[in-house]
Amino acid sequence: MLALGKLLELTLAGHEPAQKIQLTTGGVCLRWLGEGALEVRPSAATDSGLDLLLSAGVHGNETAPIELLDSLLQAIARGQLVPRARILFLFGNPEAMRRGARYIERDVNRLFNGRHTAVSGNEALRACELERLATTFFSLPQRTRLHYDLHTAIRGSRIEQFALYPWKQGREYSRQELVRLQAAGMRAVLLQNKPSITFSAFTYEQLDAEAFTLELGKARPFGQNAEVDLSRLETSLRQLIEGVETDLEQPLDQLALFSVSREVIKHTDAFRLHLDDDIENFTELDQGYLLAEDDRQQRWVVEEQGARIIFPNPKVANGLRAGILIVPTPQA
């Protein structure tokens, strides 16, 4: 197997490869762009016109999607998976991956869309670098742009695999992309309603890619992901890479849609979230329930019918969201 196919091994060891460009026997070009970054180019004769950005490890302890990307890249390097798409593989936070930590000082996935310019440190520099790599990758005209940023969650979930769909003023959601997500095993999609500071929001809002954050189960250490079933996602990614997708006009009968009702923002150290520590994502909350308090003037009471909570985390830094209230959204 080509050495560049061992991108994960290189990243975890902190090594720079001696050869930056290698070719498979089938003429596929692998090009090392920097730590945790590798571009794959198909031969010109077979190029499908798709630019596919696959990122994982933005949170370093979310290892199942890292292992999935490693498997896909190794298959390409061995010639067992022959791409027709141009692909950028990115491991988001190499130092956190090496330490088995979500992040070192700052959550990288809260530093995009320019947020990194307001803070200092290595993770701010990494977010800037990821923006640069994505911008360069998506700079070619007249090509289809798609980005999947792969994650696993801190906690369990009543809907284990789901996607977050970014928002941009005046831009419509794509039914074709929803069908793709359903085929990839997603059981719910959260339609966001305002700009965000995540990686997928950056590529969606600034680079005009179709872009999604995919939550794929619960975070576990390397080698302990047998319970995280990514088989449907892997099949879908292989089809995208090989350019052999099936019908994208399927009914969306296995996909629940939700929209954001409110974000719960932690403003001060006095913030209290009135939920059990082990509450699962998509848990439904009763109307009238006192969800959170920050000070005597700020209280979050559940008003919405059918409201559910996702990403509850009272330990975030002040100014960041400590949870999202979502409500079911009928399909158009």
The model's pLDDT over 104-153, given as tens digits with 9 standing for 90+, comes to 999 999 999 989 998 999 999 999 999 999 999 999 999 999 999 999 98
Q: How far apart are CA 198 and CA 116, in angstroms?
A: 11
Give me the residue spans of the domains in the chain: 3-242, 256-328
pLDDT value for 73:
98
If one looks up domain 256-328 in CATH, what number appears? 2.40.50.630
Residue 226 has pLDDT above 80, yes or no: yes
* 35-53: average pLDDT: 96
Q: Which pLDDT score is estimated for 296?
A: 66
What mean pLDDT do residues 304-319 have?
A: 92
Amino acid occupying residue 239: Q
- For residue 297, pLDDT over 80 is answered with no
pLDDT at 169 over 90: yes
Query: Which amino acid type is present at position 151?
Result: H
Sorted by sequence, the CB contacts under 8 Å of residue 25 that are 6+ apart come out as: 79
Instruction: Report pLDDT for 204.
Output: 98
The catalytic site residues sit at 215
| Six token digits for residue 112 | 């995009």
Residue 274 annotated as binding site: no
pLDDT of residue 76: 97
Cα-based distances in Å from 89 to 142, 181, 221, 260, 278: 21, 19, 20, 30, 33
Given a cut of 90, whether residue 158 has pLDDT beyond it is yes
> Binding site annotation covers 147?
no
Confidence of residue 322 (pLDDT cuts 50, 70, 90): very high
Question: d(Cα 195, Cα 193) in Å, to the nearest integer?
Answer: 7
Say which residues have a Cβ less than 8 Å from residue 201's Cβ, sequence separation at least 6.
Answer: 112, 113, 166, 167, 192, 195, 211
Report the top-level CATH class of 3-242: alpha beta
- Phi/psi of residue 234, each to 5°? -60, -45
Is 99 a residue whose pLDDT tops 70? yes
How far is 27 from 11, CA to CA, in rounded Å? 25
Strand partners, 86: 51
pTM of the predicted model as reported, rounded to 2 decimal places: 0.94
